[in-house]
Amino acid sequence: MVQTYLKHGPTQAFGLVCSSSSNSVFDGKFAYVPALEDILVWDVKKGQMVSMWHETGHREEVTCIVQSPNPDSFAVGYKDGSIRLWSASTGSIVTTFNGHRKAITALAFDKAGTRLASGSQDTDLILWDIVGEAGLYRLRGHRDQITAIQFLAIANNQSSTSTAAATGLLLTASKDTFMKVWDLSTQHCTQTVVAHRSEIWSLDINQDQEVVFTGSSEGELKAWKIDHRAFASGLRETETGEVAKMVHPISSLPLASKHRVSQIKFHPTQPYLAVQSHDRSVEIFRIRTEEEIQKKRLRRKKRAKEKKQQEQGKSSGNNNQKDDAEMEVDNASFTMESHLVDYFTPHLVVRASGKIRSFDFGSKESTPKGSMQLFVALSSNALEVYNVPSPAKSKEELPEATRSFSVDLPGHRTDVRALSLSSDDQILASASNGSLKIWNMKTTQCIRTMECGYAICSTFLLGDRHIAIGTKSGEILIYDIASSTLIESIKAHTSTVWSMHMRADGQALVTGSADKDVKFWKFEHRDSTDDSIQSGKLLSLVHIRTLKMSDEVLSVKYSPNNKFLAVALLDSTVKVFYQDSLKFFLSLYGHKLPVLSMDISDDSKLIVTCSADKNVKIWGLDFGDCHKSIFAHDESVMQVAFEKGTHYFWTVGKDKLLKYWDGDKFEGIQKLEGHHGEVWALALSHHGNFVVTGSHDKSIRVWEKLDEPLFLEEEREKELEGLYESGIADSLNRADPPIGSGAEGGPVNGASEAEVGTVTKQTTETLMASERIMEALDLADTERQTFKEYEEAMLRLSEDDTMRMQPPPRNAVLAAYDLEPEAWVLRVVEKIPATALQDALLVLPFGKVVSLMVYLNIWSQKGWNITLVSRIMFFLLKTHHHQIIANRIMRTTLIPLRKHLRAALQQQKDVIGYNLAALHFIRRKNDSERVAQFYEEEGMDEEKVKARIAGGKKRKRVDLKA
């Protein structure tokens, strides 16, 4: 009989406040932050998580977040090059865009929120139509990762003969040191600026769209002026014959730090500019007004003049008049280009408690006190909000930013190194460098946080009221969970405590350390001292004996039957001793690198060891024979543990995977992906219901046992299918090297690649959608052919002929849905997402395209979903133009299709035109009624009436009572 197992699946991920994979967005109340593959929404004031945006089955990290001008809509970019539009109110995906081959690095919405520009590590820039849910075009030109994108709006008061783009311009910055200006009407780059000598990491533009700031990896902040007149007139030549430039350099702005300029941001409403260039600080500049600058300049001139007079000791009226005239000339010639420092004056520096990943300004409206909020997302898994005060009037009072809110308790600052579960599986303890946290497994809420050293291992003590931690400095720390206090700190070893294990009877503890000692401890309750926080009896450890080893001890384990003690050493061997007498029993040789962890099965018959050599070995504990050696992970295997009451065991490794194995048949049962960093810690439920893992990515994940059975053959087939489908998609998405990169397969002999291209990307979803279309076409074609043959046969027979027979049975699918063949094909095509439709149609063979054209003709004749018919029709004609004109087969289909589609479109045009005319009529009638009402008032002439209409004041309604 085929062996079946129960499947495990990811159920929860917690311990994350925010990950450092992406920027964060703050709207004054809620913070939208990345949490590896999810987005978390935090109420920073309450410190509570409001919602989690999670897509089932999607495991790629979030790399970029941007909020649309419509506050409910967010665009989120991922590591696999996909972009998802999320609705904040529902927490669901609106649409998915696939076009980039590598991680998304920059996103920007236009002013109306109808278009989205995305930049990626694949150096391409793609413009997306949000309303039409389709990629408009791909722009190529940059030679390295695009780091920043900004839309530039053009003034609406252009002449009708203007050659400028009606659709606006795009400003992009890249690691290739270039800043480019793209004309979206011609879909080409109109200006390339060599902005810095090193990589450009950030870019922002002020509200008036006059000044652009760029920041480089050398810590340089440069300002650029935008020439709107050059934009309005389009591409033109200057007197010297050169093309008029649209972006001109101004000067550099000195910064307090010389580190990489990671982020630049103008405040949406207030005169502030913030620059993040240091690990822990954000520098804020105040933007002065023209009046302030003139006053400051006059004071400076006056002081210089007085100083000069004092030096000379004399002054004349003529000189005074001359100085005043000079001052007026200077003021007239004073521009931002010459005195950028006067416009942007340093206000203060905000220093956070950890390394800053990104920052954002708070609410767009200014607070009553004139201060503003600065939100900071830290790389150490924490969020902070600072209050930045307005400038002080007196020079003595230096403004200082104060931290108003922080969210840091629901997660560790560093890697989760140790996990342990209480005996009833209700409480989880997680330890890292600096903190020990206690979690409620039912609600996944952090209920206790205690400070500790660099924790390496941990275990609950008998009764689950206390927990022991082994540290890097060699100490054993005992904590009381109820009071969140450190009861005792024991200097147990002189070096790192690598492992600790409590005996099955709960009466003894063993620790193994890098000082080559294995120490045994017993528990005792001692009286509390006067200076201790708790009263009554306190739990303590008493050292009873020591086992000296020849090398560093990496892992220690008691057997469940209390008979043996296994000790893993740095020399890659495992020594097994009798637990009571410490007499040597077995030595397990075979690993090429040190054994990092081991476990003994419940029946004390098997011992499993995992090593840094990537192998897991299963040994018999009776004779020490190696039953099987399995190449388990692609990196070091960090921990291993047997499932309660079975010979199934779990392993975790530095390759970010959790794996489930059968220790009797030596087969891998399941491979679970989810973590985005090395997995350090593993804890198994005492009842075998779930597994908990802790990782370098600071997340703690729970994998629960499901009721769904698992068959090994099916799992292998699924893996192979996944590899095959991804292989097809990769071959179809052949990556062309960037322009000018000189890479193999790139443009040859000076022939440059096209600067603009179509937006296509084949994924597993689009390939499956294409297969569904082909299946529907085959089914419908067969059905129509069968009934056509039947009808032809019936026509040849007379009415009373005995050969007349019943019509053939309908296809089971069509009969079940009670649909005609053409309606079934339309149903299948309509179910394909708009974003994946074009890519799905690209994969269709030409024979199926011919077949689909027939159904397009039927749909247009019946007036079914004319919008979709038009989209498919025009795309197919554009894609297969050469094949269509090369033969005459399509003529019979295209001529009636043209006739029917034109008729259907004309009908829709008539309906829309009629409705539009009706709306115009209603508006004119409304205007005339309002004008008549105004004229009825006394003393109103035509100009006043027009003014009031323009003001939009409506008539006040009054209820008349009889």
DSSP per residue, 638-690? EEEEEPTTSSEEEEEETTS-EEEEETTTTEEEEEE---SS-EEEEEE-TTSSE
Q: Which of 650, 555, 554, 553 has the alpha carbon at shortest distance from 601? A: 650
% of the chain surpassing 70 pLDDT: 86
pLDDT band at 846 (very low <50, low <70, confident <90, very high): confident
Q: Averaged over 103-121, what is the pLDDT?
A: 92
What is the average pLDDT across 924-937? 74
- For residue 441, give every residue at least 6 positions away whose Cβ sits within 8 Å of its Cβ, in sequence order, or none: 421, 425, 426, 427, 428, 702
Alpha helix segments (H runs only) across 796-886: 812-817, 821-830, 834-843, 846-862, 866-879, 881-886
Q: Can you give the pLDDT at residue 935?
A: 57
Checking if the pLDDT of 629 tops 70, the result is yes
> Which pLDDT does position 394 carry in this prediction?
60
> Could you tell me the two tokens for 596?
């990092």
pLDDT at site 954: 53
Report the DSSP pairing between strands 73-78 and 62-67. Answer: antiparallel
Q: Give the tens place of pLDDT for each residue, 484-513.
A: 899 989 999 999 999 999 998 888 999 999
At 880-909, the pLDDT tens digits run 888 888 777 777 778 888 888 888 888 888
Mean pLDDT for the stretch of residues 35-63: 91
Q: Is pLDDT above 90 for 606?
A: yes
Does the structure show a pLDDT above 50 at 923?
A: yes
Nearest to 669 by CA among 689, 648, 684, 688: 648
Amino acid identity of residue 679, one-letter, is V
Contacts of 654 (CB under 8 A, 6+ apart): 633, 635, 636, 638, 678, 679
pLDDT higher than threshold 60 for residue 334: no
At residue 302, the pLDDT reads 82
pLDDT confidence of residue 438: 94
pLDDT for position 688:
86
Question: Is 793's pLDDT higher than 70?
Answer: yes
pLDDT of residue 414: 92
Give the single-character DSSP code of 27: -
pLDDT given for residue 274 in this prediction: 92
Q: Rounded mean pLDDT of 16-32?
A: 91
For residue 419, pLDDT over 50 is answered with: yes
Average pLDDT for 185-198:
88
DSSP state of 610: E
pLDDT band (50, 70, 90) for residue 329 = very low
Residue 164 has pLDDT above 50, yes or no: no
Which stretch, 140-144, 395-399, 741-745, has highest mean pLDDT? 140-144
Tens of pLDDT, residue by residue over 702-729, are 999 988 888 888 888 888 887 877 777 6
d(CA 299, CA 331): 12
pLDDT digits (tens, 9 = 90+) for 558-585: 999 989 999 999 999 999 999 989 999 9
Q: Is the pLDDT of residue 342 over 80?
A: no
CA 121 to chain CA centroid, nearest Å: 14
> Pairing relation of β-strands 25-26 and 4-14?
unpaired
Region 782-789 average pLDDT: 85
Tokens of 63: 């790399």
pLDDT digits (tens, 9 = 90+) for 551-562: 999 999 999 998
pLDDT > 90 fraction of the chain, expressed in percent and rounded: 40
Nearest to 172 by CA among 233, 103, 99, 105: 105
Contact indicator for 66, 35 with CB cutoff of 8 Å: no
Q: Which segment of 214-218, 393-397, 926-930 scores lowest on mean pLDDT?
A: 393-397
pLDDT (0 to 100) of residue 190: 87
With a cut of 80, say whether residue 327 has pLDDT above it: no
How many CB atoms within 10 Å of residue 541?
20
Task: Check pLDDT > 50 for residue 325.
Answer: no
* First-to-final CA distance of the chain: 91
Tokens of 316: 């004349």
* Mean pLDDT, the chain, integer: 84
**Cα–Cα distance list, 101 to 98, 130, 147, 675 (Å):** 9, 20, 16, 22
Task: State residue 162's pLDDT score.
Answer: 42
Binned at pLDDT 50, 70 and 90, residue 187 comes out as confident
Q: Measured between alpha carbons, how far is 361 from 358 in angstroms, rounded to an integer? A: 11
- How far apart are alpha carbons 795 and 34 in whole angstroms? 68
Q: Look at residue 371 in the predicted model and tell me its pLDDT.
A: 76
pLDDT digits (tens, 9 = 90+) for 118-154: 999 989 999 999 988 888 889 998 999 999 999 987 6
pLDDT at 661: 93
Question: What Å distances lie between residue 696 and 427, 699, 753, 854, 936, CA to CA?
Answer: 21, 8, 42, 57, 77
Q: How far is it, in rounded angstroms, from Cα 649 to Cα 663?
A: 7
Q: How confident is the model at residue 601 (pLDDT cuts 50, 70, 90)?
A: very high
pLDDT for 951 equals: 66
